[in-house]
A = this chain, B = another copy of it.
Amino acid sequence: MVDAENAGDAEVADGSGTGPAGSLGIATDDPLEAEIMRATYRALVERGYNDLTVQAIADEFPKSKSLLYYHYDGKDDLLASFLGFATDRFRREIEVEIDDPEAQLRALVDRLVPESLDDDEYRVQVALLELRSETPHNDRFREQYAVVDDTLKSVIADVLRRGVESGAFAADADPDTEAEVLVSLLTGVRTRRLSTREGFPIGGVRTALDAHLDRLLADPAAGR
């Protein structure tokens, strides 16, 4: 689920310190890990999942290749670690980014379903969908995707819970159930978007997502 946006952020944040995570003062990750993850991101953009090799990642890595081989056990390990890295980064950014639950929820949706996808983001999302389609055959990816989905669900449920407490969301919204719906909804939008790309009705889908979020809000006129 978590991917290009986050991967892109990871790249910026750890590379230059000027990205959203850096500017928000999030504790930086291990710089070596971040550099390897950035190389993995670049290699995914360039090669996609099927043509990815450890060598392609090493080619994007400016330091000694032996560091990369020493820390990771092959392509699958690098990819699973990349997913975990991006997921963790995404979680921390969403958690600290904004304090208002409604704004936080809308920011999360914006991040996962942006109005436009640039080429790099598109390519990495495609690679990660390929990786997801490997989960039935690959234990490591399956475990990692379970973490991705659980993390996203728990982030959303926490935001909803705080929103219900603060009165921003409808009091009868069950945070866990609504989070389950929203994770699937966002996963589905992202999956469908990749299948059609230019043909994808992003405007209509964003409207639909907004309508769905509006329903979660406690506006008495909208009710529930």
Chain A residues with a Cβ under 8 A of chain B: 48, 122, 126, 129-130, 132-133, 135-137, 142, 145-146, 149, 174, 176-178, 180-181, 183-189, 191-192, 194-197, 199, 201, 204-205, 207-209, 211-212, 215, 222-224
Contacts and interface: CB of A to CB of B under 8 A. Distances in A.
20 contacts: A48-B137, A129-B133, A132-B133, A135-B194, A135-B195, A135-B196, A145-B195, A149-B196, A174-B211, A178-B208, A180-B201, A181-B211, A181-B212, A183-B192, A184-B189, A185-B188, A186-B188, A187-B187, A222-B224, A223-B224
Nearest to A173: B211
Contacts of A176: 204
Given A146-B196, A149-B195, A180-B201, 6 more contacts: A122-B136, A149-B192, A180-B204, A191-B191, A215-B215, A215-B224
B194 A185 contact: no
Contacts of A142: 195-197
Count this chain's copies in the assembly.
Answer: 2
Contacts of A177: 204, 207-208, 211
A180 B195 contact: no
Q: Classify the secondary structure of A's interface with B.
A: helix
A68 B196 CA distance: 29
A13 B129 CA distance: 32
A6 to B, nearest CB: 18
A69 to B, nearest CB: 27
Contacts of A174: 211
A109 to B, nearest CB: 12
